[in-house]
Amino acid sequence: MSFLDIVGPVMIGPSSSHTAGAARLGRLAKACWGTDTLNEVIVFLRGSFAFTSKGHGTDKAVVAGLMGMLPDDERIRNALMLAKEAHFPYRLTTEDVDGAHPNSARFSFLGKNGRRLDVVGASIGGGAVEIQEIDGFSVAINGELPTLITFHKDTRGVVAAVAVLMAGREINIASMTLHRKTRGGVATLVTELDMNAPPDEQLCNAVLQAHPAILRVASLFGGGNNS
């Protein structure tokens, strides 16, 4: 761990996993959804997130994160009130899922034209988080590096197309993981990039056009653990 991770993060208390991690998880889950109009997001708190939610401010922190706040934002304290004032369409509930990570949550996003997205993530200790599932795909995204997620039809050439595009823009790929549900079905490609800022809209559009099988691109950046 780096010195600034040892003396840090700067955060709203009381708990790095239940408060800071919860805020970071909410923010990262919202980044999966993107900037599309949101009709509703239902948050299902699991495990000890559900059990000690109020005592640790997990409920406030998750909603604050969904609204884009960082773990050190003083507004986390009043996040539920601010969400109400801003008509932020959230609903908090709990669910008991066998085998779920003890500090985890599922986010069910609903948008216009029936668009839906299901994201499962966990707070894995010290304020670090991990997105573990997107629409039923098992992934492992921590948001420490800018990350691109493509949703595409499982066919040859998608990985190469993304790699060639990044090479052409002189962006180094830190990691690349491919997941598919069935052969020829829907697949996702998670690509972590050595960049200092999240991939912008222009880059996302370029990726979207890099291969005809690519249906959608999401850009994620949690801002690292120092944020």
Footprint of other proteins (CB under 8 A): 1-4, 6-17, 19-20, 48, 51-52, 54-57, 60, 72, 74, 76-77, 125-127, 226
Rank residues 64 and 117 by Cβ distance to other proteins and give the closer one: 64
Q: How far is the CB of 170 from other proteins (least distance, A)?
A: 19
Rank residues 52 and 108 by Cβ distance to other proteins and give the closer one: 52
Q: How far is the CB of 127 from other proteins (least distance, A)?
A: 7
Half-sphere CA count of 85, side-chain side, radius 13 A = 7
Q: How far is the CB of 164 from other proteins (least distance, A)?
A: 27
Rank residues 55 and 184 by Cβ distance to other proteins and give the closer one: 55
Tell me whether strands 38-46 and 90-94 are parallel, antiparallel or unpaired.
parallel
For residue 224, give the amino acid letter.
Answer: G
Choose among 9, 111, 104: nearest CA to 62: 104
Rounded to whole angstroms, the Cα distance separating 144 from 159 reads: 22
Q: How far is the CB of 105 from other proteins (least distance, A)?
A: 17
Rounded to whole angstroms, the Cα distance separating 120 from 134 reads: 7
Furthest CA-CA distance within the chain: 50
Rank residues 12 and 187 by Cβ distance to other proteins and give the closer one: 12
Rank residues 56 and 211 by Cβ distance to other proteins and give the closer one: 56
Q: How far is the CB of 6 from other proteins (least distance, A)?
A: 4
- What is the Cα Rg of the chain in Å? 17
Rank residues 69 and 187 by Cβ distance to other proteins and give the closer one: 69
The angle, 0 to 180 degrees and rounded to 10, between the axes of the packed helices 58-66 and 21-33 is: 30
Measuring CA to CA, how many Å separate 118 from each of 41, 42, 79, 115, 215? Answer: 10, 10, 23, 10, 17
Q: How far is the CB of 8 from other proteins (least distance, A)?
A: 6
